[in-house]
Structure 1
Amino acid sequence: MNTNPSTGSGVLKRSFGIVGTTVAAVGLFAPGAANADVFVPLPDGQKAAPGALITRTGERALVSPSLSANGAGRVVWVSGMVVAEVTETPEGKVGPDSGPSNDPGSNNSATFGASQLNTGYIIGCQVSIGDDAISLGAKAGATLKSASISGSIGLKIAPGEVRWVQLERADIPKPGTYFVDYTDVEMSIEGCAGYAQARAYTNLEIIGNTHTKTTLYGQPFSIG
């Protein structure tokens, strides 16, 4: 994880004492035939949180049939940038998990002793990933698949299932501007013999006497 003093727009300049955390990854970009690939541009999004603002920009996806060619698999490469401008948070110390592991109702994340930004995708097989489906999936025990964005992510999902794939997180020990930047991260979905959808999510947890969690969702898109 490298520190980057600027996004190019002047938002993260060190001269203002702002901390910028970036996580970047390049997946194994090996799509199939060009006429089989589908490029999906996705809209930017923004949501206010107590003492913070979450923004997602440059989100896009490239969907390809799986190389296994069995009708139940597909591959999607996702890219985007998430920024959290945090003006109010107690200074925390990053520590071990202090919440339930893989609790779908919470993030899927736990409190690590500091505020935190984490981002990823919700993937459903024969499920439309709207707000109702997200809520239902959480209550039914939708599974969290944690993964580093340093390589490809393999995911098996059956019809009617919803999975949360957390790409990366950035701990927020003090106020500042933090971002996670991911490029062409490969997610391989197998076992879904039907239509599949995906939707970006970003959670921002702010610790303190009033612990808050704010989620910014992206636009759902088809992955075949």
Structure 2
Amino acid sequence: MSENRTTGVRRGVRAAGVGAAAAAVAMGLLSTGAANADTFVPLPDGQKVSPAGVTITRTHESALISPSMSANGAGRVVWVSGTAIAEVTDTPEGEVGPWNGPTGRPGSNNSSTHGTSQLNTGYIVGCQVSIADDAISAGLSAKINTTGGGVGGSLGISLGPGEVKFVQISSKDILTAGTYAIDYQDAEIEIQGCAGYAQARAYTVVEVIGDNYSKTTLYGQPFSIG
């Protein structure tokens, strides 16, 4: 009985030791997790109505921000989700073809299209530069480069201080009047080369072809990527 008690005490000590070690490991993991925790950013819905008969709506937008696996201090990753909806009441019936240069015809706004009206959505990403409404209205778009992409894969971009890029998530041709939607879930954008702060914001563009060409853009709320 004495042996049993001793064994019980030893087991209790071992259990206490294992418990303490597990607690220490857990504390370490929690500390590591706190330093490298993902940040979830819920973002507001938005809508824009154009006199040209176009209504753009964005709903269920969010971003999940993580440190880059490269752990170099100049990289980070963001997973973005949302739904972009375009309601188009009138559009010429286009024919999908190769991209062509600006037509220069009256009412065309000197636009370049690939033959159809289109819904296009993605994100503007900037390094150490504000991409708020006043910056865009001041002509920030003239400095922006475009990076293609799609909802099915990871998009990697390199950004230096003061650089801004459009990162396209997806696009959809609008062949006839109607309602069109792009739904994306956890689309990954990896940013490298930006040692300072980075910002992003959603954009959704609807272009309607024809002699009365129109371009309607809805921007989302800017958010920090760290």
Q: How many angstroms does 1:138 deviate by? A: 2.4
Q: How many angstroms does 1:91 deviate by? A: 1.1
* Structure 1 Cα separation of the partners of residues 195 and 175 of structure 2: 43
Q: Which residue of 1 aligns with 2:28?
A: none
Q: Which residue of 1 aligns with 2:39?
A: 38
Give percent identity, aligned residues only. 64
* Structure 2 Cα separation of the partners of residues 212 and 181 of structure 1: 23
How many residues are matched?
184
Q: How many angstroms does 1:130 deviate by? A: 1.3
Q: Which residue of 2 aligns with 1:79?
A: 81
Q: How many angstroms does 1:119 deviate by? A: 0.4
* Structure 2 Cα separation of the partners of residues 131 and 123 of structure 1: 14
1:97/1:33 Cα in 2 relative to 1: closer, same or farther (>3 Å)?
farther
Match for 2:211: what amino acid? N
2:143 aligned with 1:153:
no
Alignment equivalent of 2:135, drawn from 130, 133, 136: 133
Alignment equivalent of 2:201, drawn from 194, 199, 210: 199
Gaps in structure 1 of 5+ consecutive residues: 1-31, 101-108
Q: How many angstroms does 1:77 deviate by? A: 0.2
Q: Which residue of 2 aligns with 1:29?
A: none
Check whether the contact 2:119–2:204 (CA below 8 A) recurs between aligned residues. Answer: yes
Check whether the contact 1:51–1:89 (CA below 8 A) recurs between aligned residues. Answer: no
* Structure 1 Cα separation of the partners of residues 185 and 112 of structure 2: 25
TM-score with structure 2 setting the length: 0.77
2:220 aligned with 1:211:
no
* Structure 1 Cα separation of the partners of residues 112 and 157 of structure 2: 22
Per-residue CA deviations over 1:122-150 (Å, capped at 9, x if unaligned) read 0000011113433543223x210001221
* Structure 2 Cα separation of the partners of residues 210 and 111 of structure 1: 14
* Structure 2 Cα separation of the partners of residues 41 and 110 of structure 1: 35
Q: Which has the higher helix share?
A: 2
- RMSD of Structure 2 on Structure 1 (CA): 1.7
TM-score with structure 1 setting the length: 0.78
* Structure 2 Cα separation of the partners of residues 52 and 163 of structure 1: 25
Check whether the contact 2:158–2:194 (CA below 8 A) recurs between aligned residues. Answer: yes
Q: Secondary structure at the match of 1:133?
A: helix
Check whether the contact 1:127–1:133 (CA below 8 A) recurs between aligned residues. Answer: no
Gaps in structure 2 of 5+ consecutive residues: 1-31, 103-110
* Structure 2 Cα separation of the partners of residues 99 and 193 of structure 1: 37
Per-residue CA deviations over 1:73-108 (Å, capped at 9, x if unaligned) read 1000000000111111111111111237xxxxxxxx
The structure with the larger Rg is 2
